[in-house]
């Protein structure tokens, strides 16, 4: 039985998940953190690592989502 045969009406369940607000918000934050990691690594002259960049980004930018205009 395929995903489309399951009767959910959503087609590919992974595609449905990728379209959720939660996943889209995570993808945006992930890109922001990766950019922050790059900048911080350049400033430090070494790779600061994902964990350090994530914590630093959360401290600087907070964990509440930005309001979309």
Residues 6+ apart with CB under 8 A from 53: 33, 34, 36, 37, 40, 41
Give residue 43's domain range. 12-61
54 domain-assigned = yes
Residue 52 in any domain: the answer is: yes
Position 6 in a domain:
no
Looking at the 3D structure of the chain, how many domains does it have?
1
Residue 4 lies in a domain: no
Q: What's this model's pTM, rounded to 2 decimal places?
A: 0.66
Q: Express each pLDDT in 40-63 by its tens digit.
A: 999 999 999 999 999 999 999 876
Q: What is the pLDDT of residues 13-29, one digit of tens each?
A: 788 888 889 888 889 99
């Amino acid at each position: 039985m395929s995903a489309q045969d399951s009767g959910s009406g959503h087609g590919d369940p992974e595609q449905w998940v990728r379209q959720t607000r939660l996943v889209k918000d995570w993808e945006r934050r992930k890109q922001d953190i990766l950019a922050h990691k790059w900048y911080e690594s350049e400033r430090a002259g070494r790779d600061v690592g994902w964990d350090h960049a994530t914590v630093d980004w959360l401290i600087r930018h907070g964990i509440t989502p930005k309001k979309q205009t």
